[in-house]
Amino acid sequence: MRCRICDGAEIQKVFSLGHQPFANALISPDKESCYEPKYPLELGFCPHCTQAQLIDTVPPEVLFTDYPYQSSACPAVVRNAKEIVERTVKERNLGSDSMVVEIASNDGYLLKNYDEHGIPRLGIDPAENVIRLDPKYDTGTRTAYFNKRLACELSEFRKADVIHANNVLAHVPDPNNFMQGIRELLKPTGVAIIEVPYARRMVERGEFDTIYHEHVFYWTLKTLTQLVMDNGLKILNAEGTELHGGTMRIWVGHPRREHFLKILEPEEINTFDFYAQLTSKAQQVSGNLWRALNRAKTDKKTVAAYGAAAKGTVLLNYAKIGTDLVQYVVDDAPSKQGKLMPGVHIPIYPPVKILEDPKPDYLLILAWNHAEDIIKRSQGFRGTFIIPIPELKTVRSWQ
């Protein structure tokens, strides 16, 4: 129960989602009858350093060695990657003598943009199944967890001009060691570009389904700044994006005396009471959704869902929504198709399923952070979309 960041005692529990399965542990139909473990999913708060974090954690090798998430299956993620690469190449004047490293490089969705510019790069990712999806990409990837030890090994050969770390800092069990690795691997003039889900937006919008076992930490600009400074680096710039329902992007480099970043963030968000709001917001969101789906069932309407995402697993299990209310889920990632959603065991199909007879009357968008893209891709659907978060909303398909 000690804080993983500052080692302070007395982590306080602020929100509980009960016992949940691993959000990305999709189930093969032939193993549906097998025992499926569930683990406590509780958010804690450190009153000393104000860092929000899970109370119980699972070893990374259990969660990430065989990982079904594919970044390239999400158009918004692909667009975000291309935009930041083009911006970085221009701003940093990168060329064939530069070196780029991406931590948690997944299926090559970001680094392939550097390939187009002829810029040397290295991916680091522990999920062998994802790396094997593209043999060409596999040749430029190190299958490993990033830490200070690995960074020291790599830096003996070459240091990085740019390090990307998108949506990985929330996952690592020891962020201090992670930041020390970045400091070791980064050139004196280099920059690390780090993206994390923004805890302020998560709480303000009631995005409680962002909390799952893979996400150990929940960052604000204040707590990120302290982490970076404690490990001999400095935040050079910070900005917010709407990706994933609210993302914070920071640029980190070696300290420069002339630079100072002012934290423009309300102090009241780094408090126990701020995070405690999640309980009532989660109950409201899940209650509204459960009642809407039950009305559809009473009216003899059919409901399918789009997006076998981790968010969807958390929402369905917390709201106790199973096959009696949602007949099936569709997802673009082939690695997820033919499996079952964890906990609730709703079957997953390719998106073409929603265009086959009988067509569903409602389509619940579980990957609500990609709602706009999903609606555009579902032009043949003639029913009603349900967007559950930040508040329940319905959208007619022809609007």
Confidence of residue 251 (pLDDT cuts 50, 70, 90): very high
pTM: 0.89
Phi-psi category of 128—alpha, beta or left, where left has phi over 0 and alpha has psi -120 to 50?
alpha
Q: Give the pLDDT of residue 379.
A: 84
Place of tokens 């690390």: 192
Give tens-digit pLDDT for 57-74. 876 666 655 555 567 778
In this structure, are residues 218 and 52 in contact, taking their beta carbons and an 8 Å threshold? yes
Place of tokens 């959603």: 341
In this structure, are residues 140 and 121 in contact, taking their beta carbons and an 8 Å threshold? yes
What average pLDDT does the segment 4-32 reach?
91
The pair of structure tokens assigned to 29 is: 């139909």
Q: Is the pLDDT of residue 266 over 90?
A: no
In this structure, are residues 218 and 4 in contact, taking their beta carbons and an 8 Å threshold? no
CATH 3.40.50.720 positions along the chain are: 290-396
Place of tokens 């109950």: 283
β-bridge mates for residue 101, sequence order: 122, 163
The residue that leads in pLDDT, 140 or 316, is 316
SS3 of the chain: the string is CCCCCCCCCCCEEEEEEEEECCCCCCECHHHCCCCCCCEEEEEEECCCCCCEEECCCCCHHHHHCCCCCCHHHCHHHHHHHHHHHHHHHHHHCCCCCCCEEEECCCCCCCHHHHHHCCCCEEEECCCHHHHCCCHHHHCCEECCCCCHHHHHHHHCCCCEEEEEEECCCCCCCCHHHHHHHHHHHEEEEEEEEEEEEEHHHHHHCCCHHHCCCCCCEEECHHHHHHHHHHCCCEEEEEEEECHHHCEEEEEEECCCCCCCCCCCCCHHHCCHHHHHHHHHHHHHHHHHHHHHHHHHHHCCCCEEEECCCHHHHHHHHHHCCCCCCCCCEECCCCCCCCCECCCCCCEEECHHHHHCCCCCCEEEECCHHHHHHHHHHCCCCCCEEEECCCCCEEEECCC
Q: Does domain 64-265 have CATH number 3.40.50.300?
A: no
CATH 3.40.50.150 positions along the chain are: 64-265
The count of C-alpha atoms lying within 13 angstroms of the C-alpha of 361, restricted to the half-sphere facing its C-beta, is 10
Give tens-digit pLDDT for 150-183. 999 999 989 999 999 999 999 888 999 999 999 9
Query: Chain-centre distance of CA 389, in angstroms?
Result: 16
Q: Is the pLDDT of residue 127 over 80?
A: no
In this structure, are residues 196 and 247 in contact, taking their beta carbons and an 8 Å threshold? yes
User: Is the link from the previous residue into 388 a cis peptide, with omega within 30 of 0?
Assistant: no
The answer for residues whose C-beta is within 8 angstroms of residue 358's C-beta and 6 or more apart is 302
Q: Is the pLDDT of residue 376 over 60?
A: yes
Q: Give the pLDDT of residue 202.
A: 95
Q: Give the pLDDT of residue 259.
A: 56
What average pLDDT does the segment 281-304 reach?
97
β-bridge mates for residue 349, sequence order: 330
Q: Give the pLDDT of residue 134.
A: 53
Q: Give the pLDDT of residue 195.
A: 96
What average pLDDT does the segment 333-351 reach?
95
CATH homologous superfamily of 290-396 equals NAD(P)-binding Rossmann-like Domain (3.40.50.720)
Of residues 64, 63, 78, 149, the one with CA closest to residue 108: 78
The pair of structure tokens assigned to 7 is: 């080692």
What average pLDDT does the segment 70-98 reach?
90
Residue 264: burial class (beta carbons within 10 Å; 0-12, 13-18, 19+) = exposed
